[in-house]
């Protein structure tokens, strides 16, 4: 059966697209048939997928990661056309408030909702109400701390606040200055044999895989 992982957070810049493309790549590398679905009109994941297809035409050693774009208001259509996959990872726009009904229904149709969050008070303010909605609608969700810096006091404080309101994933993604670099070729850190920052994404995939029972 197809498993669906939704990456959603009301806050722009929290790491949704970065997490979506790394999870898709990790899953494809493990031999799963994956499809990315991009409901963000900015098309970040979709464009990444197009660049990846171009790169693969020259360097077929990278695993294919097909991505389709769809409209959040008509989310069932894109999900249906991806139903042949073992795993669908969905990237979404921020401001869930603007399309609350659609995104809540989509969350209910998903096996896991990953909510990325940077450790600032602004992120807590934005993410906490969304996590509450996911809880009351009985969606299985997990909060992933992104750009984590354990050396700062503010990180520990904000992490403490987030733990009170959400199930926080044991895997944290550190600040990785170069995380965007491979994306120019439609690639991720996981496409290279040795690049700093691979491990947390591998661990996040291991966690996700277990959660959705793949
Ligand atoms: N762990 C990280 N370390 C450093 N930069 C990051 C990290 N995660 C995301 N970024 C950067 O932050 C920006 C926003 O990330 P993105 O995934 O596009 O967020 P969203 O999709 O939630 O708007 C991008 O420039 C991305 O490269
Ligand atoms: Mg995005």
Q: What is the mean pLDDT of residues 147-156?
A: 92
Q: What is the mean pLDDT of residues 115-127?
A: 95
- Residue 146, ligand 1, Cβ within 6 A: yes
- Report whether pLDDT(194) > 90: no
Do residues 103 and 96 make contact, with C-beta atoms less than 8 angstroms apart? yes
- Residue 175, ligand 1, Cβ within 6 A: yes
User: So what's the pLDDT on residue 5?
Assistant: 98
User: So what's the pLDDT on residue 196?
Assistant: 83
- Residue 144, ligand 1, Cβ within 6 A: no
| Percent of the chain scoring above 90 in pLDDT | 95
Q: What is the pLDDT of residues 53-97, one digit of tens each?
A: 999 999 999 999 999 999 999 999 999 999 999 999 999 999 898
- Report whether pLDDT(140) > 90: yes
- Residue 196, ligand 1, Cβ within 6 A: no
Question: What dotted CATH number matches 3-211?
Answer: 3.40.50.300
d(CA 29, CA 8): 23
Q: What is the mean pLDDT of residues 167-196?
A: 94
Do residues 80 and 70 make contact, with C-beta atoms less than 8 angstroms apart? no
- Residue 43, ligand 1, Cβ within 6 A: no
Q: What is the mean pLDDT of residues 6-12?
A: 96
Residue 40 CA, closest ligand 1 atom number: 21
CA 10 / ligand 1 centre spacing (Å): 14
d(CA 88, CA 135): 22
Containing 114, the helix (H) or strand (E) segment is: strand 112-118
Mean pLDDT of the chain: 96
CA 92 / ligand 2 centre spacing (Å): 7
Cα dihedral 173, 200, 51, 1 in deg (nearest 10): -110
Nearest CA to ligand 1 atom 13: 13
The pair phi, psi for residue 145, each rounded to 5°, is -75, 125
User: So what's the pLDDT on residue 210?
Assistant: 98
Confidence category of residue 211, pLDDT binned at 50, 70, 90: very high
CA 146 / ligand 1 centre spacing (Å): 8
User: So what's the pLDDT on residue 2?
Assistant: 97
Q: What is the mean pLDDT of residues 92-112?
A: 95
Q: What is the pLDDT of residues 20-59, one digit of tens each?
A: 999 999 999 999 999 999 999 999 999 999 999 999 999 9
Q: What is the pLDDT of residues 171-183, one digit of tens each?
A: 999 999 999 999 9
Domain ranges of the chain: 3-211
Nearest CA to ligand 1 atom 14: 13
Confidence category of residue 121, pLDDT binned at 50, 70, 90: very high
CA 15 / ligand 1 centre spacing (Å): 4
- Residue 108, ligand 1, Cβ within 6 A: no
């Amino acid at each position: 059966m197809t498993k669906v992982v939704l990456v959603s957070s009301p806050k722009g810049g929290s790491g949704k697209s970065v997490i979506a493309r790394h999870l898709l790549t990790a899953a494809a590398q493990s031999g799963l048939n994956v499809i990315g679905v991009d409901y963000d009109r900015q098309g970040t994941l979709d464009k990444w997928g197009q660049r990846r297809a171009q790169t693969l035409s020259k360097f077929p050693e990278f695993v294919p990661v097909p991505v389709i774009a769809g409209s959040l208001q008509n989310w069932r259509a894109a999900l249906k056309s991806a139903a042949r996959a073992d795993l669908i990872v969905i990237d979404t726009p921020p401001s869930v408030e603007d399309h609350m009904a659609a995104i809540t229904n989509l969350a209910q149709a998903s096996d896991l909702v990953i909510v990325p969050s940077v450790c600032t008070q602004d992120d807590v303010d934005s993410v906490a109400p969304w996590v509450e909605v996911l809880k009351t609608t009985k969606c299985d969700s997990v909060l992933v701390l992104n750009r984590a810096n354990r050396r700062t006091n503010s990180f520990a404080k904000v992490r403490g606040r987030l733990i009170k309101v959400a199930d926080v994933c044991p895997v944290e993604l550190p600040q990785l200055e170069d995380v965007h670099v491979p994306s120019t070729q439609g690639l991720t850190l996981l496409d290279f044999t040795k690049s700093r920052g691979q491990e947390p994404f591998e661990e996040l995939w291991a966690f996700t895989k277990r959660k959705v029972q793949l």
